[in-house]
A and B are shown apart, each in its own frame.
Chain A
């Protein structure tokens, strides 16, 4: 139906809100990243001076930036792979059990999903606390501190992230498997296909659109992890060893008052996620999805 101005009338509130609070801030972010913008400029003591790519040259010349970027990518990849593996495996498991165990697992997963990031972070920290946590007692680790070492701190955050994000994957993939016609699976198992073979050759291709969606969503979420790192490693770990881009940008801007530099980091993040989005759009196109 073509309604003349009606669709634009319906769209107006959304466009106003998005324009003012999303598009405009993105433009501002780009702008600030080209200026020398510190506490003096914020308080109005000095005028902001245009620096061109000054913030970017400073950023790219700083070895810590590259180290943080590498850590961010590796951490996000580890989170995405573990979340997808756990989520898909449990979705398949859900289809193979009767109602009671299924309900139990579903409820537990919903609980983890619903847990706010801040509380999830503090609870996991407490579980792994060197003095009072049950994990070290059970594993007999004494007062081993999980947040002291760089890798073990990242591992602890990873466990929390997987715990609170696998339910989305599990529930979505499970709903997808349930939508696959039963005849297809019957035919496959009559032909003597193994469980793994059924998953790889029948389910995975049919679930491809769903798998693409959950993968991209996980990439986007895990690349932007902020709360967990901030709370669990107390703002980026000892000497910033557990910084990821998001927390790094925040620390540069709000802790060190280097707003221009922080914005430049924000722009880098924006560009990386934009690249991911373009890949996603191409995948959707190739599937012939109609928007």
Chain B
């Protein structure tokens, strides 16, 4: 029994629980309103008397979204970008985290500090040089121009966070593996990798989100070839500041939010313990 809880007298606890539920409702309300508005028929969305329910749910807004030129393509593009970033940064970060936790070598501490400093770099400020870099490499208007920078920007945090997980694998296990005649590569991929996998999953949430949510790079690097566009840009097609199509915006937002929600719910436990590990370490 948690003593913080044991101390609280009954009325106090009921008040705390009531406020927790109330706050949960307030926090969840924007998401509820988003989904609700996505299903409302046109007349109810743009009504001056908005109601928190609808008696005539309709799929019109979703039809408009999916009927938009190549929306499926944008969705797929977003998935490809996020998928490549997650896999590549997880593998690269795993190798780097192993190097800095399981080996002692000169410059180790310097490198760690560099990884920490790299996390602070404002990605947005680098849009200008990256734009020229991508242009000179002929990568403008390609998904590569979105994938590569996101791998780079998610690496420092991923390495930093994975350190704790790699460190937690006992040294004795490594020695035993070598005594049994395992090679370094065998230990790395067949013993260490599966043990660190939960940590990799927790870490990948962050790279997934940054790649999936990216708005700035897509806006700056995908300038003319709209077939390479991603979801955030597709969403903004419906959002014209003077006359937004709110039904379309809310339906597209719903479609864009759901994959992240699913991913979050799946890795939720590991995320919490991963954060605890990264922070306590």
- The answer to whether A and B belong to the same complex is yes
Residues of A within 8 A of B (CB): 1-3, 6-8, 10-11, 13-14, 17-18, 20-22, 24-26, 28-29, 32, 90, 92-98, 101-102, 104-105, 107-120, 122-124, 126-127, 129, 131-134, 137, 163, 171-172, 175-176, 179, 182, 185-186, 189, 195, 198, 209-210, 213, 220, 223-224, 226-227, 230-231, 234, 246, 249-250, 253-254, 259, 262-263, 265-267, 269-270, 273-274, 276-277, 280-281, 291
Q: How large is the interface on B (under 10, 10 to 19, 20 to 34, 35 or more residues)?
A: 35 or more
Check if B257 sits within 8 Å of A277, measured CB to CB: no
Q: B77 on the interface (CB 8 Å rule)?
A: no
B279 near A210 with CB under 8 A, answer yes
Which A residue sits closest to B212, measured CB to CB? A116
Structural contact, A105 and B20, CB atoms closer than 8 A: yes
B223-281, CB < 8 A from A: 232, 235-236, 239, 241, 246, 249-250, 253, 256-257, 260-261, 263-265, 268, 271-273, 275-276, 279-280
B240 closest partner in A (C-beta): A234
A118 to B246, Cβ gap below 8 A? Answer: no
C-alpha spacing A23/B88, complex, angstroms: 19
Of B59-67, B68-76, B119-127, B193-201, the one touching chain A: B119-127
Contact A2–B112 (Cβ < 8 Å): no
Give the distance in Å from the alpha carbon of A97 to the alpha carbon of B220 in the complex.
Answer: 47
With A and B bound together, what is the CA distance between A94 and B113 in angstroms? 34
Given contacts A18-B156, A95-B5, contact A226 B216 (CB under 8 A): yes
Partner of B280, one of A28, A179, A250: A179
With known contacts A1-B104, A118-B213, A176-B279, A263–B129 Cβ distance under 8 A: yes
Q: A266 vs B28: C-alpha distance in the bound complex, in angstroms?
A: 36
Does chain A have a CB within 8 A of B168?
A: no
Other-chain contact of B50, A2, A10, A134 (Cβ < 8 Å): A134
Q: A123 and B132: CB pair below 8 A? A: no
Greatest chain A CB density within 10 A among B20, B45, B133, B264 is at: B20
Verify if B118 is at the interface (C-beta below 8 Å from A): yes
**Contact assessment for B37 and A126 in the assembled complex, using a CB-CB cutoff below 8 Å:** yes
Let me know if B235 and A111 touch, CB within 8 A: no
Contacts beyond the supplied A6-B99, A107-B28, A163-B27: 11 A-B pairs with Cβ under 8 Å: A7-B103, A95-B4, A97-B5, A108-B23, A110-B264, A113-B264, A123-B31, A123-B33, A171-B272, A182-B2, A277-B117
> Which chain B positions have C-beta within 8 A of A267?
125
- B88 CB to closest chain A CB, in angstroms? 8
Query: Does B173 have its Cβ within 8 Å of any Cβ on chain A?
Result: no
A29 contacts B212, CB within 8 Å?
no
A270-B125 in contact (CB<8A): yes
Closest A residue to B178 using CB positions = A1
A133 and B122 within 8 A (CB): no
Instruction: Give the distance in Å from the alpha carbon of A94 to the alpha carbon of B16 in the complex.
Output: 9
Choice from B95, B113, B122, B151 contacting A224 with Cβ under 8 Å: B122
Let me know if B128 and A96 touch, CB within 8 A: no
* Cα of A25 to Cα of B217 in the assembled complex, Å: 14
Contacts of B213 in A (CB 8 A): 116-118, 227
B112–chain A nearest beta-carbon distance, Å? 5
* Complex Cα gap A110–B239 (Å): 26
Partner of B119, one of A1, A127, A163, A220: A220
Q: A7-B103, A119-B257, A227-B215 are in contact. Are A18 and B152 (CB under 8 A)?
A: yes
> Given the complex, which residues of B lie within 8 Å of A246, measured CB to CB?
122, 124-125
Contacting residues, chain B, for A115 (C-beta < 8 A): 30-31, 257, 260
Instruction: Give bound CA distance, A10 to B275, whole Å.
Output: 24
B148 touches A21 (CB 8 A): yes
Interface residues of B (CB under 8 A from A): 2-5, 7-8, 13, 16-17, 19-21, 23-25, 27-28, 30-31, 33-34, 37, 45-50, 52, 91-93, 95-96, 98-100, 102-105, 108-109, 111-113, 116-130, 132-133, 148-149, 151-153, 155-156, 159, 171, 174, 184, 209, 212-213, 215-216, 220, 232, 235-236, 239, 241, 246, 249-250, 253, 256-257, 260-261, 263-265, 268, 271-273, 275-276, 279-280
> What's the Cα separation between A2 and B109 when bound, in Å?
14
A185-B4, A189-B3 as given contacts; A29 in contact with B126, CB under 8 Å: yes
- Please pick, from A24, A176, A277, the residue contacting B120 in the complex, using a CB distance under 8 A: A277
A119-B34, A119-B257, A126-B249 given; A26·B121 CB < 8 A = yes
Asked if A129 contacts B246 (CB within 8 A), the reply is yes
C-alpha spacing A179/B276, complex, angstroms: 9
Known contacts A11-B111, A24-B133, A95-B4: A112-B31 contact under CB 8 Å:
yes
Q: Given A105-B27, A116-B212, A269-B125, is A96 in contact with B13 using a C-beta cutoff of 8 Å?
A: yes
Can you list 8 A-B contacts with CB-CB less than 8 angstroms, sorted by A residue number?
Answer: A11-B96, A21-B148, A26-B126, A111-B27, A134-B50, A250-B216, A263-B129, A269-B122
Least CB distance from B191 to A in Å reads 15
| Chain B residue with Cβ nearest A119 | B253
Q: How far is the CA of A230 from the CA of B236 in the complex (A)?
A: 12
Taking the nearest CB of chain A, how far is it from the CB of B232, in angstroms?
Answer: 4
